[in-house]
């Protein structure tokens, strides 16, 4: 009996102290995961907003622009916006852009220091003819993130698609708006 | 003397309705042929039905774009409305390189490969059964027409998609299984409108 009391006196405080010790750590992890989710969801929300308004904005809060791939994401989005602006201005197409819903299922988030990997399944609407912009890749997406200045930013993005939206992960794209407009004019005039 | 099959004209064609299909038979050609012509709505309805989920009647691959387009074009030439009946699709038997066919176990090159599909569709096919197409440009593309895109501008076409709303420039595609705007397909493109399926 005395032994049991002795054991309880030693073990219970140890368990209690252990729980206190673990609590802030798990809380920290949850907080970091929440911030990573905010970065990924925020990137799409901001990009969709820019695509709908056809106004280029700042994505540096979500993308690590030191990475060639994410830098190219910005360039291609700007290209899409310029293409739409020109085609609509010239009356080449109806404007059927709509902000369709995006659903994020976070399958896993692994954090190691200032780096993280998030596996996300992106799904969207299926009724009617929901036409998502080119930067939305439905299905499995893997994001590698880097914590810079205490903020998580997407550094690399892998997804299943026939082609890479950003066109290159190693070579920075350049935007030639005049050339793009000429190509659109040629195409729509039937040359 | 063997002459190439005539295209149908109002003077020598007899038109017969079979199911959804309209058959136009050449009466004067030395090699008898029948051209099956359909409205594009059949291809569009198929593409809309299976843009998000593959038709289990067919195989599916991780790079499924041309397989999906061929299914819709083939369905356009079929004579029944079910999505899992051989008569709902029209194919061309042959080898992997010469045929245009598919099933649950796989498909031929012209059925599933971007470049082979283009080469097959635009080829002459004199005295052979098979689909005939008109090569066109964006201005001439119709609903149910096909686009192929060279994303990297390297001369190699990478992707096929089918037009489901020409006025709005919306295409249905696989890999990814979604709709895309014509406006957002970046890179050189080429187009064809499926026209009729010739049966000898």
B3 close to B11: Cβ distance less than 8 angstroms: no
Whether residue A22 is contained in a domain is answered as: no
pLDDT one-digit tens code per residue, A59-68: 999 999 999 9
Instruction: Flag whether residue A80 sits within 8 Å of chain B, measured between CB atoms.
Output: yes
- Per-residue pLDDT, A11: 64
**Mean pLDDT of all residues in chain A?**
90
Cβ–Cβ gap B178/A126 under 8 Å: no
For residue A15, tell me if it sits in a domain: no
Closest CA to B142 of B118, B169, B115, B124: B169
Of A155, A134, A133, residue with least CA distance to A143:
A155
Minimum mean pLDDT range among A2-16, B92-106, B124-138: A2-16
Q: Testing the interface with B: which of A47, A80, A99, A162 to mutate, by most B Cβ within 10 A?
A: A162
Q: What is the pLDDT of residues A103-112, one digit of tens each?
A: 999 999 999 9
State how far residue A65 is from chain B, nearest Cα, in angstroms.
Answer: 22
Contact A160 B176 (CB under 8 A): yes
**CB pair distance less than 8 Å for A162 and B52:** no
pLDDT confidence of residue B32: 85
Of A76, A83, A163, the CB nearest to B183: A83
B9: pLDDT strictly greater than 70? no
CB atoms near residue B94 (< 10 Å): 15
Q: pLDDT-derived band of residue A189, with 50, 70 and 90 as boundaries?
A: confident
* Whether residue B23 has pLDDT greater than 70: no
Residues of B in contact with A190 (CB under 8 A): 137-140
**Inter-chain touch A160–B164, beta carbons under 8 Å:** no
Considering the domain boundaries, does residue A154 fall inside one?
yes
pLDDT for residue A28: 80
Of A38, A29, A162, the closest CA to residue A104 belongs to A38
Chain A: give the shortest CA distance to residue B31, in Å. 36
Asked if the model's pLDDT at residue B71 lies above 80, the reply is: yes
pLDDT in tens, B94-109: 999 999 999 999 999 9
Number of structural domains (chain A) is 1
Average pLDDT rounded to a whole number, residues A130-158: 96
Residue A160 has pLDDT above 90, yes or no: no
pLDDT at position A71 over 60: yes
CB contact at 8 A, B67 and B102: yes
- Percent share of chain A, pLDDT over 70: 87
Enclosing domain of residue A148:
31-189
Average pLDDT over residues A167-172: 91
What are A22-39's pLDDT values in tens digits? Answer: 556 788 889 999 999 999
- State how far the Cα of B168 lies from the Cα of B162, in Å rounded to an integer: 13
Using an 8 Å CB-CB cutoff, list residues of chain B that contact chain A.
48, 52, 62-63, 65, 137-140, 151-152, 158-159, 164-165, 167-170, 175-184, 186, 189
Average pLDDT over residues B150-163: 94
What is the rounded distance in angstroms from the CA atom of residue B137 to the CA atom of residue A189? 9
Q: Is residue A40 part of a domain?
A: yes
> A170 vs chain B: nearest CA distance in angstroms?
14
Identify whether A16 is part of a domain.
no
Indicate if the pLDDT at residue B25 is higher than 60. no
In a domain, A63, yes or no: yes
Using a CB-CB distance cutoff of 8 angstroms, which residues of chain A are in contact with residue B152?
163, 167
Comparing CB atoms, the residue among A83, A87, A130 nearest residue B179 is A130
> Is B181 close to A126, i.e. CB distance below 8 A?
no
Query: pLDDT band at A76, cuts 50/70/90?
Result: very high
Q: Which residues of A touch B168 (CB under 8 A)?
A: 93-94, 96
Q: What pLDDT score was predicted for residue A167?
A: 86
**Does A12 reside within a domain?**
no
* Residue B38 distance to chain A (closest CA, Å): 23
Q: Residue A52 maps to which CATH number?
A: 3.10.450
pLDDT for res B119:
98
Q: How far apart are CA B48 and CA B44, in angstroms?
A: 6
Q: Is the peptide bond before B121 cis (omega within 30 degrees of 0)?
A: no
Please give the pLDDT value at position A13: 63
Q: What average pLDDT does range A82-90 have in this prediction?
A: 97
- Cβ(B100)–Cβ(B92) under 8 Å? yes
When scoring B181, B190, B191 by the number of chain A Cβ atoms within 10 A, the one with the most, hence best to mutate, is B181
Q: Is the pLDDT of residue B26 over 60?
A: no
Burial of B195 by CB count in 10 Å (0-12 exposed, 13-18 middle, 19+ buried)? middle
pLDDT exceeds 90 at position B20: no
Phi/psi region, residue B31 (left: phi>0; alpha: psi -120 to 50; beta: rest), is beta
Inside any domain, residue A19: no
């Amino acid at each position: 009996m005395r032994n049991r009391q002795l054991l309880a006196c030693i073990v219970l405080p140890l368990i209690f102290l252990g729980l206190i010790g673990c609590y802030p750590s798990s809380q920290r992890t949850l907080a970091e995961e929440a911030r990573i989710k905010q970065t990924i969801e925020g990137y799409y929300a901001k990009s969709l907003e820019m695509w709908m308004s056809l106004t280029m904005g700042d994505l540096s809060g979500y993308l690590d622009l030191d990475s060639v791939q994410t830098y190219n994401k910005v360039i291609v989005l700007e290209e899409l916006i310029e293409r739409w602006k020109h085609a609509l201005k010239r009356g080449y197409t109806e404007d059927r852009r709509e902000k369709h819903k995006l659903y994020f299922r976070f399958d896993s988030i692994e954090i190691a220091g200032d780096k993280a990997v998030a596996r996300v399944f992106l799904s969207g609407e299926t009724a009617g003819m929901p036409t998502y912009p080119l930067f939305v890749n439905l299905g499995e997406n893997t994001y590698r993130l880097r914590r810079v200045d205490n903020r998580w930013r997407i550094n690399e993005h892998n997804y299943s698609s026939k082609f890479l939206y950003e066109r290159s992960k190693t070579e920075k794209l350049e935007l030639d708006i005049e050339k793009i407009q000429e190509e659109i004019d040629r195409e729509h005039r039937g040359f | 003397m063997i002459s190439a099959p005539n295209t149908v004209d109002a003077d020598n064609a007899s038109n017969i309705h079979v199911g959804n299909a309209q058959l136009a038979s050449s009466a004067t050609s030395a090699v008898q042929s029948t051209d099956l012509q359909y409205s594009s709505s059949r291809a569009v309805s198929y593409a809309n039905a299976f843009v998000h989920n593959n038709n289990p009647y067919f195989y599916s691959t991780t790079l499924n774009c041309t397989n999906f387009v061929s299914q819709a074009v083939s369905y356009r030439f079929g004579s029944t409305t079910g999505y899992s009946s051989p008569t709902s699709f029209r194919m061309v038997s042959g080898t992997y390189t010469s045929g245009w066919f598919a099933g649950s176990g796989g498909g031929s090159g012209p059925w599933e490969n971007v470049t082979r599909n283009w080469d097959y569709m635009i080829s002459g096919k004199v005295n052979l059964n098979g689909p005939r197409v008109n090569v066109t440009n964006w201005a001439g593309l119709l609903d149910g027409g096909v686009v192929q895109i060279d994303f990297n501008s390297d001369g190699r076409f990478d992707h096929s998609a089918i037009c489901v709303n020409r006025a709005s420039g919306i295409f249905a595609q696989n890999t990814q299984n979604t709709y895309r705007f014509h406006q957002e397909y970046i890179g050189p493109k080429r187009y064809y409108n499926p026209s009729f399926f010739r049966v000898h």
